Amino acid sequence: MTLIFLSPPFTNLESLILTTSFALLYVGSLYVSKHARLSFVAKVVPPPRDGAERRRHDSERWRDDPDVIRARLIAVTIVSLVSCTIVFGALWQSIGPESIEVTLEATLVRLGFSMPEFSLDALLPHLITPLLFLGPLYALYLDFSSPYPATGSFKDVLFSWQGTRNYVVAPITEEIVFRACVLAVYNLSGASKTKMIMLAPLSFGVAHVHHAWDIFNRYGRTPAAAKRALLTALFQLSYTTLFGSFVSYLFLRTGSIFPPITAHIFCNVMGLPQLGYEVSKFPKQKRFIYLAYMTGVLGFVMKLVPWTNTPYSLYWQPRGQEMTY
């Protein structure tokens, strides 16, 4: 059952307050517990060379310390549950307190937790991101096939607390909060699809800016460290916002949170494409690497719309039909 409102139950201001609270809760949870907070010494001795990461002091708590990761994973998991509960509460208030079962079902649908029946059409939205990464995937195949693969370090990270954070908990919780909860609320305020795809991901991008403080401290609090932190923050803001627009499109097109989650996990595993490095490492396969990259990009452009077409998506109505809330 999909509950449709005749008019937006939330105002623009209410949706802005709610979506901002989701972002503040998520980032703020990383600093509430003393076990999750980072700590750095006031003075670094000896000072690091410009451009080099300094040594970690025994008394410090860095982002990749296992106890910090564990505390933060618990925090963001709780925040994800709280954010979903807030959406439920907001819907309950709009629907009426006597309709708790209807509200619960409506919340699950709007957050994209409904499981579709397994079929090729249901699988295609999960394959659009690997198609885009056809070039990096081919280079990864070459690396695995080489006598000296460089994948050992990745395997070590994969089965570590860093891997649990990067490839499991962070993608799932970020998509639940910044995609499902944020977009559900924006939709209930009557926001257009364009606004939800282009503007809603800004909160996701801004939520990554706090990493600049970590970088500034790890690189010695020097002018060079400040420059690195600023440039990294701007770069992260750019690509996380761009990625946020893509997975927002996936969520709205499919009405499901699962394609955005698999896309997020896949992108975290693959990292940013490194065409120049891959060509220099495998010069004999240069043409095939270029061909794989071009094929992936062209395939992505051609298949993005048909592969993400999901009938009866709450958020993506056919042309000619009015927007539903």
Q: What is the pLDDT of residues 285-321, one digit of tens each?
A: 999 999 999 999 999 999 999 999 988 788 887 654 5
Mean pLDDT, the chain, integer: 87
Structure tokens at 47: 């000072």
| Structure confidence at residue 11 (pLDDT) | 87
| Structure confidence at residue 155 (pLDDT) | 65
CB distance 241 to 231 below 8 Å:
no
Token look-up 């420059």 returns: 227
> Alpha-carbon distance 113 to 236, whole Å?
28
**Catalytic site includes residue 14:** no
Mean pLDDT of 209-225: 85
Question: Which residue among 35, 60, 117, 208 is the active-site one?
Answer: 208
| Structure confidence at residue 51 (pLDDT) | 66
Confidence of residue 72 (pLDDT cuts 50, 70, 90): very high
- Whether the per-residue pLDDT at 1 is higher than 60: the answer is no
| Structure confidence at residue 147 (pLDDT) | 65
- Whether the per-residue pLDDT at 175 is higher than 60: the answer is yes
Residues 8-27 as b or e (16 or more Cβ within 10 Å = b): bbbeeeebeebbebbbebbb
| Structure confidence at residue 216 (pLDDT) | 86
Which amino acid is it at 147?
P
| Structure confidence at residue 243 (pLDDT) | 94
- Whether the per-residue pLDDT at 232 is higher than 70: the answer is yes
**Catalytic site includes residue 174:** yes
Residue 61's φ and ψ, nearest 5 degrees, are -125, 110
Tell me the three-class secondary structure of 215-242, residue by residue: HHHHCCCCHHHHHHHHHHHHHHHHHHHH
Specify the pTM.
0.91
pLDDT in tens, 113-167: 987 777 778 899 999 999 999 999 999 998 887 666 665 566 666 778 888 999 9
Mean pLDDT of 62-82: 94
- Whether the per-residue pLDDT at 98 is higher than 70: the answer is no
Q: Within the chain, what is the greatest distance between any pair of CA atoms?
A: 69
Q: Is the peptide bond before 46 cis (omega within 30 degrees of 0)?
A: yes
- Whether the per-residue pLDDT at 173 is higher than 90: the answer is yes
Confidence of residue 325 (pLDDT cuts 50, 70, 90): low
DSSP code of residue 197: H
Mean pLDDT of 208-232: 86
How far is C-alpha 234 from the geometric centre of its chain's CA atoms? 17
Angle, CA 129 vertex, CA 207 and CA 196 arms, to 5° = 45
Domain extents in the chain: 12-117+125-308
Question: Which residue among 14, 35, 105, 174 is the active-site one?
Answer: 174
